[in-house]
Structure 1
């Protein structure tokens, strides 16, 4: 071994060792912080799920189950609907298109926002409006005749970020697979799902291990896979090594 190599070796060990050791030591603390953060985000999500869902169980598995149970077939912009009011054809309407403002136009009621609602929720809303204004006990049926193109966006530390069509029931793991999986810099414990102006923490590692349900995605969901700070630091050290070695190699 040359004199130059003897000088370089301790420097390389110090740089790489510092990064790797800090990563190992921080695991238990990072795990605890991840759980607290994910619990907070998922507890926030349960506010929007049906009231039958227990709000007392704040475990990650329960939170993911709530996310999966949330309606994956909510009414979206450009869906085509039929609205039938039982025995009142003059208040019924066919081939209604959900406009960009989320509303459909109904006889007498005018614009009624239904985007983001499930079919039963839309029926209840329309029936409630009719009861307030025109009828004692309206029976309303909403039928979806055609469903608009749905999509999900996957970005961040994935191999092929992009916008992908949702066909049928698409799960979180299926969307990650469409993006060709995560990169070696990904933090699988720190993935964020943006939905309807809110954000939810998802632990990809737990889902892959079967410790949490695989959430069903909705139209316009955006998945962002965050990078691991430790992995980024390690990569920078490795990339920086050639520039450290080159001055000494010139002395050979």
Structure 2
């Protein structure tokens, strides 16, 4: 009888031990699911594909109003009724132009409209009353990359050799509120076909994934609340693949 009671007591202890273990496993699973829910990569585009290579030879840079000026570009500056301050200016290796009276002015990274505003402020503060200035891009030399989606300043930015994804996002002044840094898509034309690959900024910054190179004519889109519906539709329409593929 004593042996039977001992066996039942042992069995009860084992059952309680298994229930406790199952409870711990269940709670752990819920926590893991919660973490996974916060880490939202999502989408069907392959992450960090090993064969996401160099693009086709870039075409002549596209000149648009939101294009950022870069080293080597030539701008024409026209100061109304002041011919001595007007003329063509080449942006030097430091990203500046050298205007009489004003001296060196940062031009690279700005649009022509932003450069106009900077010149109006500097000339108007010290030399001219209510200056009228027009800046146009005469020769586009620097290749560009398009940065769109949930970034602080979407637009076209000059891209140099050895520019990385992290550097490209930094040129757009970083991600915006509501951005999803775990889902950044790079569109690239390779062998005449438009390709796409996804990257996770958090794992790149943490050193877990390499920081991929970005090339001229690439389009970088950061997912998030500010991403346009047009890009969202494209991202959602891409098929499930193990490697990047044309679309």
TM-score band, normalised by the shorter chain?
A: 0.3 to 0.5
Choose 1 or 2 for highest CA Rg: 2
- Normalization by structure 2: what TM-score? 0.41
- Normalization by structure 1: what TM-score? 0.41
**Bigger relative contact order, structure 1 or 2, given CA contacts below 8 A and separation 6+?**
2
